[in-house]
Amino acid sequence: MARRENSEINAGSMADIAFLLLIFFLVTTTMDVDSGISRKLSEKPPENYEPPIIKMKNILEINLNRNDEMLIEDEIKQIADVKQIAIDFLDNGGGIGKEVDGVAGTACAYCNGNKSEKSSDHPNKAIISVQSDRGTSYGMYITVQNQLLSAYTELRNRYAKNHLKGKYAGKSYDDLLLLSSNDKENKDLKAVIREVKEAYPQIISDAEPTK
């Protein structure tokens, strides 16, 4: 009797199916993307450093509790309110700026605020203090920070468009950053961006979270 040979299994179709499934899962699967904020930490002050006296009116206090509820200057506010409140505070211009190299500060000539004596004196004196709770959600904290950064960007865009001269006249702060990303060695452009940042310096303080 002739020996019966073992039949082979054609695995070619199985490989095709596996490959198609792999493509399907790669196309349809969503991945969590870490979110965050860009923030430069302040340098450690020298040992003999004495912190300046800060007027309370130059501090905007934002408090977040463990239920993601928000108080701004002891009033309940919503996320939609944060940006405009920050703009009004930063752009108030109710007094004079800080002393620089022994030269007394001056009033903010480019501010369009209400000049209220109860709010910040000058953008370079205005501090935004954010205090969260250890139970505050990360998403809430990031959302508030993004609203604050958006307020600074809007004010910087306005300053750039209205006050810059020469070849960068009429350009927004966002435009300048885009130009800088393509021309990182341009010293004139860096100086202009520095001017805009100094007009509205980003001063956000993260207070120690409450328990």
- 130 located within any domain: yes
Residue 178 counted as domain residue? yes
Residue 76: enclosing H or E segment and its boundaries?
A: strand 75-77
Summarize the confidence of residues 197-204 as an average pLDDT.
94
Does the pLDDT at position 133 exceed 90? yes
**In this structure, is residue 193 part of a structural domain?**
yes
Q: For residue range 144-159, list pLDDT tens digits in order.
A: 999 999 999 999 999 9
- Span 102-121, average pLDDT: 91
Distances (CA, A) of 43 to 40, 46, 130: 9, 9, 19
**How many domains does one find in the chain?**
1
Q: State residue 48's pLDDT score.
A: 75
DSSP secondary structure letter of residue 133: B
What is d(CA 170, CA 165) in angstroms, rounded to the nearest whole number?
8
Domain, as residue range, for 185: 56-206
Give the model's confidence band at 45: pLDDT under 50 very low, under 70 low, under 90 confident, else very high.
low
The band of 43, judged by pLDDT with boundaries at 50, 70 and 90, is low
Residue written as tokens 């095709």? 16
- Domain membership of residue 107 (yes or no) is yes
Question: Residue 197 falls within a domain, yes or no?
Answer: yes
What 3-state class would DSSP assign to 89? helix
Q: Quick one: how far is CA 55 from the chain centroid?
A: 24
Q: Is residue 33 one of the residues assigned to a domain?
A: no
